[in-house]
Each structure stands twice: as C-alpha cells, then as structure tokens.
Amino acid sequence: MREMPMKWKIGLVLLLLLCLLTGCTDMRQEPNATQPPVNEPYMLAEGAQELRQDIQTLLIGAVGYDPVTEQSRITSVQILVRDATGATNVLILPKDTRAWINFYEDGQVIYGEYGSLSRVYAAGENSGCGVQNLLDAVSGVLGGVQIDEYVLLNAVQLDMLAQTTDGVYVTVDTAISDYEIGLGYQDISDKLQSYASYSYLSNVGGEELTGTDKDKLARHRELLQAMFEAMRLKLTDVTDREACAREMINCVTTNLSARQWLVWTGSDPATAFAETELLSGRHYEDDSMSLWIYDTGELNDWIIENFYTK
C-alpha cells in the first residue's frame, strides 16, 4: 500500500486538532446548540450609557395547559416598566415572539434553539427551571436587560386572585352567551375564569387567536388594568394592607414580597398605565413553527427609552 503523502498527513492532523478545539467531534449535536451572542440580533444604539436607577420592572405572564403536548405554555407576557411617579409603560410580548429557548434535563441546559416564547416555560419545567427559563428568554429579547420581579398565573389562579378583591370591572364589547356574559361595563369577578379562557387567553368562538390579534391585545390591556385597579381599591380599603397583600400573593406564582406587591398594586401614587405597546414586526412561518419577529430598530429604541439614560 502506498504511503500517505506528508502534506495529507499534516492536513489530517490539523483537521483533528480543529475538531477537538471546536467540539465538533460529536456529530449528534442539536442545531443552534450554542447560545447566541449578547444582544443578538441587534446592538444597543449609541447614546445609551447606563441602566436607569429610577425604574422598577415586572414580568406578568399567563400560563395555560396544552392538552395536545400535555405541557404548560406561555399564553401572554407583559413587561411593566414603572418610574417613581407611578407612570407605567407596558410592552406586550405575543406568545409566538421569537426567543432563544434553553432546554433542560436534570437541572442542566442540554441544548438551545430559537423558537416561540410560548415554549420556554415547558422547556425547563420538569427540571424546576421553568420560571428562570422564561426570565432568561425575555431578557434575551430585550437585549440582555435583567427582569428581576415576576408574577405568573393560570386561569384558576386569576380567578382566585379576583376573589380577594371587591370586584373586577371591565367593558365587554362582544357578548359571550355561552357563559351568560353580556355587553357593557360590569363586574366579571364571578365569571373571570370563563371570561379569561374564552376571550382573553385562548380563543373566541372556538377559533385559536394569534398572539398579535388586535382585539385580544386590547383585552390584555383592559383586563390587566382592571385587575390592578381592583387590587388597589381593596388594598386602600383595609387596615392591615400587608396581610391583604400576602393573601393576594398566595394566589399566584411570584417572587414579590408583600411590600413589593403593595408598591405595584396599592401604593401612592398607584400604578398608572401610561402606554401599552405592541411594536411592529413580521411573522415568519415554516413547516414546523410560526414566529413573531420584532422590528429590531423599534425594539432597540423602546429598550433605550425605558431602561437606559442618554
């Protein structure tokens, strides 16, 4: 057998060294298995110097159950940014927002890929990392800004929370005859779970709604404001405000203390929703997924305006 030429030997050695250095010897590696660069897919614009110290941030997420996959899913996310006056800007992240998802096994990240924000909780849930996975994914969407405070709740928890108040009032624009919810301004606290699951979290008339459905997003804002107002009124009407706040906290999944809860829901000045935004973007679809991808310029501007000094 003819001996391999020396230049081939050298080339083979170099190729093997390259494989060892880059970790590509494992040919079973999942696609997109490396974490994307910081602030990918955009960089912070010039002029943003440091994070503002006069704001508080809160993630509010609705969690549903998907009977098809038998997993929890995120059905909506709102990011609240509150300044010292109580004025609060809200950014809505649709459930199909493109986000980086870490997949956990036995408490360790085994691989990652881009996908729908709705999947991030389930990707870490079995390892007890569902909440952290959601916070990490949202932080990635927001260019690395850390979100420390959160409230997560499902339809049952939403109903329990409503029962701690003296009523949750909304204006119903589309009657829901199946649940005897008519038109007009009314207290829906006794039927809140039905109202939320029928017209807010999932569908209307049995039709699944996209995360960017305009009517659905309008209900997002109204129900969120109605819950905050109901809690504020209750907390200003009781003697032991911290005890009442703890009762509310026990209804949801949160890392807020009673005092922090009061800042958001029962403080003076009370949280006032100054602006709710769904930034422009585009839908991306292929055979396996449907994603909402924000316009990076608009998202970048919103991040700088709300989180950074200039």
Q: What is the pLDDT of residues 197-252, one digit of tens each?
A: 776 555 555 566 665 666 777 777 788 888 989 999 999 888 899 999 999 999 99
pTM, entire model: 0.80
pLDDT higher than 50, residue 15: no
**CB-CB neighbours of 308 under 10 Å:** 17
pLDDT higher than 70, residue 159: yes
pLDDT tens across 160-181, in order?
Answer: 999 999 999 998 887 877 788 8
Per-residue confidence (pLDDT) for residue 27, from 0 to 100: 28
Q: Which helix (H) or strand (E) holds 63?
A: strand 56-66
pLDDT tens across 57-87, in order?
Answer: 999 998 887 777 788 888 889 999 988 888 8
Per-residue confidence (pLDDT) for residue 34, from 0 to 100: 47
Least confident of 38-42, 118-122, 149-153: 38-42
CA distance 191 to 172: 12
**Per-residue b/e over 101-115, b at no fewer than 16 CB within 10 Å?**
bbbbeeeebeebbbb
pLDDT band with cut points at 50, 70 and 90 for residue 2? low
pLDDT higher than 90, residue 268: no
Per-residue confidence (pLDDT) for residue 297, from 0 to 100: 86
**CB-CB neighbours of 257 under 10 Å:** 14
CB 260 within 8 A of CB 80: no
Per-residue confidence (pLDDT) for residue 6, from 0 to 100: 56
Per-residue confidence (pLDDT) for residue 200, from 0 to 100: 59
Instruction: Say which amino acid occupies 128.
Output: G
3 state SS of 149: strand
Joined tokens for residue 217: 């997003």
β-sheet bridge partners, residue 98: 116
Q: Where are the domains of the chain?
A: 56-307
**Per-residue b/e over 124-160, b at no fewer than 16 CB within 10 Å?**
bbebebbbbbbbbbbbbbbbebebebbbbbbbebbbb
184: left (phi over 0), alpha (psi -120 to 50) or beta: left
Per-residue confidence (pLDDT) for residue 138, from 0 to 100: 94
pLDDT tens across 79-115, in order?
Answer: 999 888 888 888 888 888 999 999 999 989 998 999 9
CA distance 8 to 136: 46
CB 102 within 8 A of CB 109: yes
Instruction: Determine the average pLDDT of the residues in 111-134.
Output: 92
**The dihedral sign for the CA sequence 215, 216, 217, 222:** positive
How many C-alpha atoms does 208 have within 13 Å on its Cβ side?
Answer: 5
- H-only helix segments in the chain: 6-22, 120-125, 130-141, 155-162, 192-196, 214-235, 241-249, 258-265, 296-307
β-sheet bridge partners, residue 108: 105
pLDDT band with cut points at 50, 70 and 90 for residue 270? low
Per-residue confidence (pLDDT) for residue 209, from 0 to 100: 61
* Crossing angle (nearest 10°) for helices 214-235 and 155-162: 40
Per-residue confidence (pLDDT) for residue 247, from 0 to 100: 96
Joined tokens for residue 107: 């408490």
* 56-307: CATH number: 3.40.630.190
pLDDT higher than 60, residue 134: yes
Per-residue confidence (pLDDT) for residue 187, from 0 to 100: 93
3 state SS of 29: coil
pLDDT higher than 70, residue 294: yes
**Per-residue b/e over 197-213, b at no fewer than 16 CB within 10 Å?**
bbbbbbebeeeebebbb
Per-residue confidence (pLDDT) for residue 265, from 0 to 100: 86
CA distance 267 to 16: 63
Percent of the chain with pLDDT over 70: 76
Backbone angles phi, psi at 10, to 5 degrees: -60, -40
